[in-house]
Amino acid sequence: DVKVTQSSRYLVKRTGEKVFLECVQDMDHENMFWYRQDPGLGLRLIYFSYDVKMKEKGDIPEGYSVSREKKERFSLILESASTNQTSMYLCASRGLHYEQYFGPGTRLTVT
């Protein structure tokens, strides 16, 4: 079974803090993704990576950066957290048939 894990299920941070969300997949997938999910807005793509050290902006990259130093690990960084970044963050990796496997999600609250 494909496994995608995320570093935390719940996280509470203060405004202005730097936040690291980590994602690890164990299927040797080349493509990995970060989304946020908000009620009424569905899934929105923040960034994706198609190879180590490669990244592409998604629909809403502002306020976020990413890092992919190893194939299995894709990190999302909030440089200076703001309250409008309170959300559920979902990491995914893409399989052979373009299906995506998601992690359990990190519910981030910025106060």
Partner 1 sequence: DAKTTQPTSMDCAEGRAANLPCNHSTISGNEYVYWYRQIHSQGPQYIIHGLKNNETNEMASLIITEDRKSSTLILPHATLRDTAVYYCIVRGYNNNDMRFGAGTRLTVKP
- 104 near partner 1, judged by CB under 8 A: yes
- 29 near partner 1, judged by CB under 8 A: no
Q: SS in 3 state form for the chain?
A: CCCEEECCCEEEECCCCCEEEEEEECCCCCCEEEEEEECCCEEEEEEEEEECCEEEECCCCCCEEEEEEECCEEEEEECCCCHHHCEEEEEEEECCCCCEEECCCEEEEEC
- 48 near partner 1, judged by CB under 8 A: yes
Indicate the residue among 4 and 76 with the shorter CB distance to partner 1. 4
Tokens at 34, concatenated: 């970060």
- 55 near partner 1, judged by CB under 8 A: no
* Rounded least distance, CB 80 to partner 1, Å: 26
Please state, in angstroms and rounded to a whole number, the distance separating the CA atoms of residues 29 and 26: 8
Q: How many residues bind partner 1 (CB under 8 A)?
A: 24
Residues from 73 through 102 that contact partner 1 (CB under 8 A): 90, 92, 94-95, 97-102
- 47 near partner 1, judged by CB under 8 A: no
Q: Where do contacts with partner 1 occur on this chain (CB under 8 A)?
A: 4, 31, 33, 35, 42-43, 45, 48, 50, 58, 90, 92, 94-95, 97-105, 107
